[in-house]
Structure 1
Amino acid sequence: MKSRVFKLNTLFVATTMALSYPVLADDADKKIEKIEVLGDKHSNYLAVEAESASKLGLSIKETPQTVHVVTRALMDDFSLDDVNQVLETTPGVSVEKIETDRTYYKARGFDILNFQVDGLGLPQDQGALQGTIDTAIYQRVEVVMGANGMMTGAGNPSATVNFIRKRPTDDLRANVSFTAGSWANKRIEADVSGRLNDLVSARAVVVKQKRDSYLDRYSVDRDVFYGITELALSDSTTLTTSLTYQSNDADSPLWGALALFDNKGQPTNYDVSTSTAADWAYWNNTSKQAFVELEQYIGDDWSVVARYAHTQNEQDSNLFYVYGTPDSETGLGLTGYASDYQLQQRLNLFDVYTRGSFELFGQTHLVALGASEADMAYRDRSLYDYQTGNGFPAMPNMHEWDGVAPVPTLVDVNPSAPGSDVDSDQSSQYASARFSLSEDLKLLAGLRHTAWQSKGMSYGKNKGTKESDLTHHLGAVYTLNDNVNLYSSYSETFAPQTEKDINGNQLAPIEGDTKELGIKAELFDDNMMVNFAIFNAEQVNIAVGDTVNSTPDNSVYIAAPGIQSQGYELEISGELGWGVSANLGYTYTDIDVSDTLNAGNSEAQLVKDYTPKQVFKLAVKQEVAAVEGLSFGLNMRWQDDISRVQNAAANFVTKQDAYALVNLMASYDVNEQVNVTFNINNAFDEKYINSLYWAQGFYGAPRNYALTLNWSL
């Protein structure tokens, strides 16, 4: 494992903590309510509006990029209570669960680095999210595939995940649900919304959950509170404020995971429940946020929106890491050591933009102009066990491991550089427009200038960088008829990097782009949407170690091509008729690493091997006509085989065969207020490795059950 794997000390930790439980604002489009209605309980899985690809209020059909949406209805039907479950259901997204409380996400062969809430968020130089993000406060999750340079600036050609929060409703709504499930899972969730008077509407969401796990010793205690108010200052002015609190306390979490091969290169094949965590280990995440938004309509065609969000995060953990290669006969040969990690992080975000329409040459055109500012500070510290760990080198056979380890004696990793002290600023100005060249042909164009500056030290390394870049987006949409649109698009991204070459010069930013060609159709009286896209994505200027000129005291780098990917995606969502609602997605991704391998980037081959070439996802619900209120559902995911070369010289390769996970659901409306839903996850009890993203890994959950009693007003 590389040092970055177990040093929770770089910029991505602070940024991902900020985005793990963020509270930011919606893009103030009145059309958003259309999705909220479609996403209510007992509705279908169709979404027709999305704001993640532009601030122009375009429908998904009018957007020249692939946009996937997981609606509230789908989340409710299959009890998708955390973000991992939601993104496992999202077409085109791979969820790389490398530990219990740290997860990476991939799309089109690249790590997803951009996570937003209501269109706001900071990019990340690494794509991990810490802890488990609860979905109770979100109305839907939008995923824009490919580069999204106009909206995000820094990033890569993977995807942008945008979590859209619940908003107050005009009518009084109340929902309380109780869930009990396998491994002592107990969850209560309450959601109350409505208008308090003619001027004020509000909404509050509260969640309390405690659960054990199929993994030995692992348990989670989660608390969530979300409150939002909207105040009508006038007929054209709205002030929105909100507060969010979330804590996720995990006992005996994984830090690292299981050894996947023995000294003969054979699979270790542990029990599904096997965990390397010590019984005293914990990993606690806490986030607090405050948010303010002011929206002003100017006439019938223009509006101005200003938004500010402040986030504070803390992370506290004592973790136990096990590494090595076990003996094929005895299972011995592993070593364990401990770490204490602390993080305090602060994030301020401000965004202001105006958008509207104007008439020119007999056509209506749309435009949005805006600017955003963000500043972030994080302080962290890592202590490592260099005494007890060295005195406890002989781990028992993992088949017999009970989590009992000596209480660690923790010392600074490097007394002269014990942690991180880094400040970062990002400033962006952007413009987006859709020009109607004719009734049938629309041109979408966007520019975004992003300036990024960081200063400070992280474990003895200078994290200072200062970069700026201009990214472009171009798209065209042609209306073939009332139901079918053809589109093409080109979008860019960039990402700053701190590595330096042999002359001491900082490498230029990583640059990426996506080219996409597709067709979107709304069929059966607009109750079904079909999207087919062909894509090509690539990156350049990736920092690769210059082994010839590097020394033990000075690592230098060269810029190399990154991976290139191409493929196609198909999604069908909405009502299929006969009481059937569905969301179907198929993705084919072909990754080319030949150029970057020639430049010395050997890790690129690992990416190609552990990324499934084909992924098929299907969520479907059937309402039983003969029994009012009864419905059945299936949520499945299939991926083809993947592998990871563990030792090229010895030809040790870990393989995960193709597999399918099938989740089942049965739901019954006892009356208009009471519903009972029964879920079976991994119904066929498939044994599989969650991810080969790292050299280590652990198994996915076996068959499990959950029963939810839901009361609504």
Structure 2
Amino acid sequence: MSALFSMSLSPVSQAIRVALIAAALPCSAFAADILDDESKKIEHIEVKGEAQSYKVEAISTATKTNTPLRDIPQAITVLTEEQIDDQAMQNMADVVRYVPGVQMAQGEGHRDAPIFRGNTSTADFYINGMRDDVQYLRDLYNVQRIEVLKGPSGMIFGRGSAGGLINRVTKQANWSDTGGIDASIGSWQQARVSGDYNYAVNDELAVRLTGMYEDSEGYRDFYRLERSAVNPTLTYRLADRTTLALSYEHFDDERITDRGIPFDPATNKPLQINRATFIGNPDLSDSTATVDAVSATLSHEFLSGALLVNQTRYADYDKFYGNVFPGAYTPANGRVAVSAYTSGTDRKNLMNQTDLTFEAKAGSVTHKMLVGAELNQQDTDNVRLTGYFTDVSATATAAFVTLANPVYRGNIVFRASATDADNTSDAKAKAVYVQDQIEITPQWQAVLGLRYDDYQVELENHRNGSVIESEDDLLSPRAGLIYKPVEDVSIYLNYSKAYVPRAGEQMASLTISNAALDPESFINHEFGVKWDISDSLSVATALYQLDRTNVAVTDPVNPTLSILVDGQQVNGVEFEVNGQLSAHWDFVAGYAFQDSEILAPAAQKGKQLSQVPEHSFSLWNRYQINEQWGAGLGVVSQSSAFVAVDNLVTLPGFTRVDAAVFYTPMPELRLQLNLENLTDKTYYASAHSNNNITPASPRAARLGVSYKF
């Protein structure tokens, strides 16, 4: 990890380093005061995820036991409902904007695609700890908080989670009679309304209903979005120590699939054209996603304090997208190539998790034990069709438009090519896991865990009738050691490992040539410090090395074979502070340094990973001026990054400024105005490839009203 200590720092990152050192110096001086200050001690750990402003005390997702964040040997960012509301977040791109070490790729304009420590994923999403892995764009209407876990988490979550994951904790029925309606209008005819109503029927039964509807346009030509959702939940106390929680969600999303603009070969940067310019055919570029999901959670607490939790989730996903999208730009004639295809995915997930947690003592050593099992069945149908531009020729798979007339209006026929997917797959996963959180002394703790997954996939190719089978036996370990010089400071070392099987996220990548190959593995070494400065303010920093191994490349001696090599490495530093600087001042700040390198194949050796800036910084403040007025100010800045692993095209660095004004005329009513990209900075938000780059939004305003009852 020598790269971590030989950085060439930008002025922004130098300032952050100075701030980090300055923050660390008083630690020893204040240690005695911290020990004497009883108010610093955690008194309410039993309340899961209790938030004071932007700070969360403890979560259960990372270990499946309710654990203070400072005692989890892993970098974790938690976004509370208050922060989500203050920044008017609505989607995953909004979520990761202020999370250090995480970026968002374009996802071809139809799916969430976060980049965790250099690793892009479209599958590492969870709802209340249960897998939500179909490729679509998620909404935050029913979210209580968002948890972003960095680094491999295979011991808890199984396959995937190679660089990190995002877990949504949703609003559940409880015994507080509350409700509210939120509505907003914004630039480019954005209109949205959401509602939340919770009602305690009696001491045994509580019900809740959340919902949302949005009908919006956008800053890009032809863009439109319509989405709606409803999520009723029910919580029933079957007995004093037994609870059943039920939930159903129906979610619809329809939008234009927008893949942005190409790069300019003269500059190897994004093409300099109007930010609104859409290249392709909007009438044939539509994306739809429908999700129907039912979940049930049965919990029983034994008299001994042991807790047994069984979760079942069934989800039916219907996803389709079509796109006519840009290819290469030719400066000599001003033309842009366009291609087209459609893709449909139907997936049914049935999952069941059973977790038993209990405490045991052996002398002076305390063990917080987790024993669990998971069963998972996924049935997926995937069909892809290629677009043929019949005005060019019966077999033409590309045509051209000009920048003066970038919309292609010729005839396009979609039909199967020889390589298009038409598959049915059946994936089955069985897992058992055990974890021990050990308190050796008041100063020393350890977290040890191991998970075994039996992952089987059978894929039938309807194009040629072939059937391919794959089976992987995965062992995912985790080992963490924590030293606590004082109660509110934790210094930790952690080792974790996760796997990504060859079957791929949509199963279509499973072929005869790769079915027998070992899965890719991701190994993370991490050193970190977490400090709860007060009950309302915390600081965390982490240094890590993440290695990707078992990458399949062509054998240079025998091109008909594949060999496994170490594929990439990311060395990084993450720093984060969040909470309250005073009773009136909420604050979140983060910095990340990422040094990424491709190790193989030889043609890419030494290059950087795609869309991984070396430096990124974010800062958000919310200050309550008086009982009625408040203001927010945020800054997001990052250095340049390469679009793709060929390192040909550069996404320029940028600094973006956001602001907000809050007015509360009465306790139940709040008005807020959010201004994004206040200085109207021209920059590029994300990309999918060198020729699919999304210009970021110009200055945008959103006026919202929130009424709570």
- TM-score clears 0.5: yes
Length-normalised TM-score, structure 2? 0.87
The answer to whether the 8 Å contact 1:569/1:587 transfers is yes
| Counterpart amino acid of residue 290 in structure 2 | T
2: distance between equivalents of 1:116 and 1:463?
Answer: 28
Q: What secondary structure is seen at the aligned counterpart in 2 of 1:631?
A: strand
Identify the residue that residue 261 of structure 2 maps to in structure 1.
258
TM-fit CA distance, 1:467: 0.5
The match for 1:506 among 500, 508, 516 is 516
Equivalent positions of 1:673-688 (< 5 A) are 673-688=668-683
Identify the residue that residue 213 of structure 2 maps to in structure 1.
208
TM-fit CA distance, 1:404: 4.9
Identify the residue that residue 638 of structure 2 maps to in structure 1.
639
| Cα pair distance change 1:389/1:323, threshold 3 Å | farther
Equivalent positions of 1:8-407 (< 5 A) are 33=47, 35-36=49-50, 38=51, 44-112=53-121, 113-121=123-131, 130-155=135-160, 157-251=162-256, 253-254=257-258, 256-262=259-265, 268-281=271-284, 282-328=286-332, 330-332=333-335, 334-388=336-390, 390-391=392-393, 394-401=399-406, 403-407=407-411
Q: What secondary structure is seen at the aligned counterpart in 1 of 2:69?
A: coil
Q: What secondary structure is seen at the aligned counterpart in 2 of 1:86?
A: helix
2: distance between equivalents of 1:660 and 1:444?
Answer: 39
The answer to whether the 8 Å contact 1:150/1:472 transfers is yes
2: distance between equivalents of 1:295 and 1:244?
Answer: 21
Identify the residue that residue 655 of structure 2 maps to in structure 1.
660
The answer to whether the 8 Å contact 1:435/1:444 transfers is yes
The match for 2:418 among 405, 411, 414 is 414
Identify the residue that residue 486 of structure 2 maps to in structure 1.
481
Identify the residue that residue 434 of structure 2 maps to in structure 1.
431
The answer to whether the 8 Å contact 2:549/2:566 transfers is yes
Identity rate, percent: 19
2: distance between equivalents of 1:543 and 1:534?
Answer: 28
Deviations 1:286-330 (A, max 9, x none): 1101111111111141011111111101123332133233234x3
Alignment of 1:612 onto 2:585:
no
TM-fit CA distance, 1:612: 0.3
The answer to whether the 8 Å contact 1:98/1:690 transfers is no
Identify the residue that residue 515 of structure 1 maps to in structure 2.
525
Q: Between Structure 1 and Structure 2, which shows a larger proportion of strand residues?
A: 2
Identify the residue that residue 26 of structure 2 maps to in structure 1.
none
Stretches of 4+ moved more than 6 A in 1? 499-505, 645-648
TM-fit CA distance, 1:469: 1.6
| Counterpart amino acid of residue 298 in structure 1 | F
Q: What secondary structure is seen at the aligned counterpart in 1 of 2:487?
A: coil
TM-fit CA distance, 1:46: 0.6
2: distance between equivalents of 1:240 and 1:578?
Answer: 36
The answer to whether the 8 Å contact 2:660/2:674 transfers is yes
Identify the residue that residue 696 of structure 2 maps to in structure 1.
700
Identify the residue that residue 452 of structure 1 maps to in structure 2.
455
Identify the residue that residue 623 of structure 2 maps to in structure 1.
622
The match for 1:561 among 563, 566, 569 is 566
**Which 10-residue stretch deviates more, 100-109 or 177-186?**
100-109
The answer to whether the 8 Å contact 2:389/2:410 transfers is no
2: distance between equivalents of 1:424 and 1:382?
Answer: 20
Q: What secondary structure is seen at the aligned counterpart in 2 of 1:151?
A: helix
The answer to whether the 8 Å contact 2:269/2:650 transfers is no
TM-fit CA distance, 1:634: 1.8
Identify the residue that residue 581 of structure 1 maps to in structure 2.
586
| Counterpart amino acid of residue 311 in structure 1 | A
2: distance between equivalents of 1:422 and 1:215?
Answer: 37
| Cα pair distance change 1:144/1:317, threshold 3 Å | closer
| Counterpart amino acid of residue 79 in structure 1 | A
The answer to whether the 8 Å contact 2:375/2:431 transfers is yes
The answer to whether the 8 Å contact 1:237/1:296 transfers is yes
| Counterpart amino acid of residue 307 in structure 1 | Q
**Which 10-residue stretch deviates more, 568-577 or 43-52?**
43-52
1: distance between equivalents of 2:210 and 2:655?
Answer: 34
Q: What secondary structure is seen at the aligned counterpart in 2 of 1:61?
A: helix
Aligned residues: 653
| Cα pair distance change 1:275/1:449, threshold 3 Å | same
| Cα pair distance change 1:109/1:505, threshold 3 Å | closer
CA RMSD after TM alignment: 2.5
| Counterpart amino acid of residue 488 in structure 2 | N
1: distance between equivalents of 2:172 and 2:417?
Answer: 46
Deviations 1:69-89 (A, max 9, x none): 011101101110112111222
The answer to whether the 8 Å contact 1:668/1:676 transfers is yes
| Cα pair distance change 1:502/1:679, threshold 3 Å | closer
Deviations 1:131-159 (A, max 9, x none): 42110111111111111121122225411
Identify the residue that residue 10 of structure 2 maps to in structure 1.
none
Q: What secondary structure is seen at the aligned counterpart in 2 of 1:275?
A: coil
| Cα pair distance change 1:98/1:379, threshold 3 Å | closer
TM-fit CA distance, 1:482: 2.5
| Counterpart amino acid of residue 623 in structure 2 | Q
| Counterpart amino acid of residue 695 in structure 1 | N
1: distance between equivalents of 2:664 and 2:514?
Answer: 67
The answer to whether the 8 Å contact 1:544/1:601 transfers is no
2: distance between equivalents of 1:590 and 1:118?
Answer: 32
TM-fit CA distance, 1:533: 1.3
Deviations 1:12-59 (A, max 9, x none): xxxxxxxxxxxxxxxxxx9675535x2xxxx62111112222112111
TM-fit CA distance, 1:98: 4.5
The answer to whether the 8 Å contact 1:502/1:557 transfers is no
**Which 10-residue stretch deviates more, 417-426 or 178-187?**
417-426
TM-fit CA distance, 1:380: 2.0
The answer to whether the 8 Å contact 2:118/2:570 transfers is yes
Length-normalised TM-score, structure 1? 0.87
The answer to whether the 8 Å contact 1:511/1:541 transfers is yes
Deviations 1:589-617 (A, max 9, x none): 11233xx23x436287251x631011111
Q: What secondary structure is seen at the aligned counterpart in 2 of 1:381?
A: strand
2: distance between equivalents of 1:188 and 1:636?
Answer: 27
Deviations 1:159-194 (A, max 9, x none): 121111112232111110110000100001101113
Q: What secondary structure is seen at the aligned counterpart in 2 of 1:489?
A: strand
Gaps of 5+ in 2: 1-43, 504-508
TM-fit CA distance, 1:463: 5.1
Gaps of 5+ in 1: 1-29
| Cα pair distance change 1:267/1:623, threshold 3 Å | closer
TM-fit CA distance, 1:682: 0.8
**Which 10-residue stretch deviates more, 109-118 or 436-445?**
109-118
TM-fit CA distance, 1:447: 0.7
TM-fit CA distance, 1:709: 0.9
2: distance between equivalents of 1:202 and 1:645?
Answer: 48
TM-fit CA distance, 1:414: 3.0
| Counterpart amino acid of residue 275 in structure 2 | V
